[in-house]
Amino acid sequence: MANSAQARKRARQAVVARAHNGSLRSRLRTAIKAVRKAISGGDKVAAQSVFRTSMSTIDSVADKKIIHKNKAARHKSRLSAAVKAMAA
């Protein structure tokens, strides 16, 4: 266990950081699910608008290094392809 004052402070900070990172990761997952739900709904215009808003969320989480930039790019690419594949 943390014995020095510095180690105790780092442990406290780690708890706060973990909670913050978890909320950002949850926001990312929610954004991805919203796009998938819009795609399954069948409305291409709605799916495109939801996709545009989720792009900023994905980029924001990647910029904060919660997920790797390549993982963010992979999510954006696959979601974009799914939206484009929808029938007009």
pLDDT, tens digit (0-9, with 9 covering 90-100), for 35-68: 999 999 999 999 999 999 999 999 999 999 999 9
CA distance 65 to 55: 15
Q: How confident is the model at residue 87 (pLDDT cuts 50, 70, 90)?
A: confident
Q: Which tokens go with 46?
A: 């709605």
CA distance 3 to 10: 11
pTM for this structure? 0.86
Q: In this predicted model, which residue has the larger pLDDT, 3 or 8?
A: 8
Helices (H), 1-88: 5-41, 44-63, 69-85
Between the two ends of the chain, the Cα-to-Cα distance in Å is 59
Residue 1: DSSP 8-state: -
Give the pLDDT of residue 88.
64
CA distance 66 to 56: 14
